[in-house]
Structure 1
Amino acid sequence: MRPLIIAALSLGLGTPALADWQQTLDAARGQTVYWNAWGGDARTNAFIVWVGEQTEAKYGVKVEQVKLTDTATAVTQVISEKAAGKDSGGSVDMIWINGPNFLSMKEQGLLHGPFATDLPNARYLDLGPDAAASVDFTVPVEGYESAWRLARFVFTYDSAVVTEPPKDMAGFLDYAQANPGRVTHPDVSNFMGSTFLKQALVEFAPDKAALQAPVTEEAFAQATGFLWQWYDALRPLMWREGATFPENQSVQQQMLNDGEVDFGVSFDPASAAGAIAEGLLPDTARVFVPRDGSIGNISFVAIPYNAANREGAEVVANFLLEPATQAHQQNIEVLGSFSVLDATKLNAEEAALFANLPSSPALPRLADLGPTLLEPHASWMTKLVEAWGERYIK
């Protein structure tokens, strides 16, 4: 870690000695936070280990990652505990959550809060009503989850093999027609697979504004007409003729590295640079986005209503927003995720943490990623996955 970041962490920059926050710190000391988070990315897992080391050293709060393959597993656990009358002492302290899972928990009253806007480090965020940190898949956050990393949907390819990647989702059909068996996506039951479909949905929908409202049968039929035509044509030209799919993005990345397919997918623009550094992709790997932009969102953490260690979870959520933490996270040698902080709210010393981070030819600038396309309302993803299963799973 860079010395400046170490110094900032040791000084605890961004954590005011507020009386009420001090009570939270006191209650949190000695707690172990069970952070339920997708476990399919080694760099993210390592970052969570680092977070636990830092919060234990600074605040006496340990972090244990409960590695998930599907966030819905943690949601189901909280639902089961509520049904059993376990309204305190719950086993899930914090969840990396987005979209339909957040909407489901919020609607069922399964979330602790509102807490996020009261975190001392929330002052570094843009929390305007339409800001990215205030809306999750069109659903107002209202303080029931806290931002921690910025995500953009990107494609990975080997520039030594693919000289002209597709310019849009329609272009993947053209590519597959010229190169049968070289295109695939993660299984649609996986978030990355459903995002592949959502990216196409957003591009092809005749009325994109309709995607921002809860889905209806009529709106879904109108929005997906061309999508299914495109996918019907694409599927038999995919890897293994679309009969099976890689389990997740990590498996697809390995397939790309092995030369089995020509594209990978990620919600992390720094994924290619990080994979090159780890020897998991060739030096010629690069990322691209469709010319009109790609889906983007913010990753959040939420605390269940019955969390046994919710004070500790608030401390961890607040630590994730430290400028030094965000700079460490943005370092491509660590994780490479762009910061969620509003740069205009940083002082000179805090801004300096981001100024000299390592770069890579495979790391795009934020400007290179083009427009951020809005996530559809969470109900669209649920309906899209269901409809895909009905059409293609025999």
Structure 2
Amino acid sequence: MVGFICALGLLTACSSDSKEPVAESEQPTEDILALNWEQITEQAKGQQVNIYMYGGSDTTNRYLDEWIKPRLQEEYEVDLRRVPVSDIEETINQLLVEKKAGKETGSIDLLWLNGENFRTAKSNDLLWGPITEKLPNFNEYVDGEAADIQFDFGIETDGLEAPWGKAQFVFVYDQDKVAEPPQTMEELKQWVEENPGKFTYPSPPDFTGSAFIRHVLYETTGGHEQYMKPFSEEVVGNWQPMWDYLNEIKPFLWREGKTYPENSAKLDQLYSNGEVWMTMGYDPAKASNEMMKGTFQDSTRTFVLKNGTLANTHFLAIPYNSGKQAGAMVAINFLLSPEAQITKFDPQYWGEGMVLDMDKLSDEQRQQIEAIDRGVATLSNEVLSDHQVPEIPAEYVEALEKQWHEHVAKP
């Protein structure tokens, strides 16, 4: 979240029925994109839309199941069915197999993705669209010219995916044990060495672990600007300072760096148990959410680095062989509505950043946003926005994750 994500890939909670859905036989014969919005909403009535998404976040699952699903059903007669996956890459691979086999109608109607998975999907023609130009809420409330909407990890979105939320990486710590959180990677290194066994990070390609090493990359190789260009083997050849850093802290990590948490959920559990004193992730409100649930101690707080932390946007897309394009478009449009986005911003439901352009909202809507209590462990929007750095193109991320296993995991 983020993702990211995000991230941005990742299954602790399930929908009411987590069996593999069976695709309905009907395939729309009309060109949905040629219809007006009223016709699209009419065609969507009665459709069951299967959304494949990371299933490991209780707050995200609850937001979809308890808030979005009943309203979408009542207002549009669209049944949104959440299909949880541990990593959306598995779903992309399923689509690749279906594409190769010539399967015209699949069971996947909606995808939550970004970054490398979007690059794979776009380059293999796995997505249906363009869709954003037909979505009323996108056109009314989203700044379609913004760089983080037009590009996803350096890849042009071309309207094939619609933004759903914004995430920024934050570090989570226990202020009773960490009096002064580090502000730079060099300070973090010093802290790790002074507190052996109390820090670690997930093993890439976990989205959170991969993001952590990208922060190390930025600070040890001269900043992010050099990576805002097409992939270069020459640039990759200058990564030794990053590998040196990661190997130097390795003996001081949890379990002496002989093993790493497999994902961010495992790292959160280590933090909750007090085995480590820091965790991390792409959700600035997660710490406050976990405190409200009682899984994180009340002394939990968050921080960002002086030189900034990664921020990105994650998206929703429709697969090329969905038989429910109309229903999927109606679902996306509802998820982009001010009502749904503002509710998602509230940590009682999720606490994630919105994709709405504040200048396009009414005074009443802006006041509603300002009145939301984001929690004591959530940094202000001003602090977060002042400490953002962009993501690098997906090719660099792929190279980083592969080489981490060669340079850090193996030695």
- The reply to whether TM is greater than 0.5 is yes
**Of 303-312 and 148-157, the range deviating more from structure 2:** 303-312
Task: Report what 1:62 is aligned to.
Answer: 79
- Alignment of structure 1 residues 1-394 onto 2, 5 Å: 20-49=36-65, 50-87=67-104, 89-122=105-138, 123-128=140-145, 130-206=146-222, 208-222=224-238, 224-369=239-384, 370-394=386-410
Residue by residue over 1:358-394, the C-alpha shift from the partner in whole angstroms, topping out at 9 and shown as x without a partner, is 2422121111223210100011110000101122344
**Of 102-111 and 353-362, the range deviating more from structure 2:** 353-362
SS in 1 for 2:237: helix
SS in 1 for 2:36: helix
The amino acid of 1:116's aligned partner reads T
* Kept after mapping to 2: 8 A contact 1:269/1:364: yes
Residue by residue over 1:64-83, the C-alpha shift from the partner in whole angstroms, topping out at 9 and shown as x without a partner, is 22212111111001111011
TM-score (norm 1): 0.91
**Of 275-284 and 63-72, the range deviating more from structure 2:** 63-72
Paired with 1:363 and 1:167, the residues of 2 have a C-alpha distance of 17
SS in 2 for 1:104: helix
* Kept after mapping to 1: 8 A contact 2:44/2:324: yes
Paired with 1:134 and 1:37, the residues of 2 have a C-alpha distance of 22
Paired with 1:77 and 1:19, the residues of 2 have a C-alpha distance of 29
Q: Cα distance 1:101–1:19, how it changes in 2: closer, same or farther (>3 A)?
A: closer
Paired with 1:42 and 1:208, the residues of 2 have a C-alpha distance of 33
| Percent sequence identity over aligned pairs | 33
Residue by residue over 1:145-176, the C-alpha shift from the partner in whole angstroms, topping out at 9 and shown as x without a partner, is 11111100001001111111111222221111
Residue 141 of structure 1, CA deviation: 1.2
The amino acid of 1:52's aligned partner reads K
Paired with 1:310 and 1:198, the residues of 2 have a C-alpha distance of 36
RMSD (CA atoms): 1.6
Paired with 2:361 and 2:90, the residues of 1 have a C-alpha distance of 37
Residue 90 of structure 1, CA deviation: 1.3
SS in 2 for 1:81: helix
Residue 333 of structure 1, CA deviation: 1.0
The amino acid of 1:326's aligned partner reads Q
Residue 290 of structure 1, CA deviation: 0.5
* Kept after mapping to 2: 8 A contact 1:324/1:353: no
SS in 1 for 2:319: coil
Residue by residue over 1:189-246, the C-alpha shift from the partner in whole angstroms, topping out at 9 and shown as x without a partner, is 2111111111211222236333122322211012x12101101101111101112112
Residue 96 of structure 1, CA deviation: 0.8
SS in 2 for 1:30: coil
* Kept after mapping to 1: 8 A contact 2:285/2:375: no
Residue 270 of structure 1, CA deviation: 0.5
**Of 282-291 and 349-358, the range deviating more from structure 2:** 349-358
SS in 1 for 2:316: strand
**Of 365-374 and 335-344, the range deviating more from structure 2:** 365-374
* Kept after mapping to 1: 8 A contact 2:247/2:408: no
* Kept after mapping to 1: 8 A contact 2:344/2:351: yes
Paired with 2:50 and 2:96, the residues of 1 have a C-alpha distance of 17
* Kept after mapping to 2: 8 A contact 1:214/1:378: no
Paired with 1:132 and 1:387, the residues of 2 have a C-alpha distance of 27
Q: Cα distance 1:117–1:371, how it changes in 2: closer, same or farther (>3 A)?
A: farther
Paired with 1:314 and 1:235, the residues of 2 have a C-alpha distance of 47
Q: Which 4+ stretches in 1 moved above 6 angstroms?
A: none
Paired with 1:117 and 1:193, the residues of 2 have a C-alpha distance of 35
**Unmatched tracts of structure 1, length 5 or more:** 1-17
Residue 113 of structure 1, CA deviation: 0.8
TM-score (norm 2): 0.88
Paired with 2:404 and 2:264, the residues of 1 have a C-alpha distance of 19
SS in 2 for 1:303: strand
Paired with 1:46 and 1:383, the residues of 2 have a C-alpha distance of 35
* Kept after mapping to 2: 8 A contact 1:214/1:380: no
* Kept after mapping to 1: 8 A contact 2:224/2:390: no
* Kept after mapping to 2: 8 A contact 1:333/1:358: no
Q: Between Structure 1 and Structure 2, how many residues are aligned?
A: 374
Paired with 1:143 and 1:359, the residues of 2 have a C-alpha distance of 31
**Unmatched tracts of structure 2, length 5 or more:** 1-33
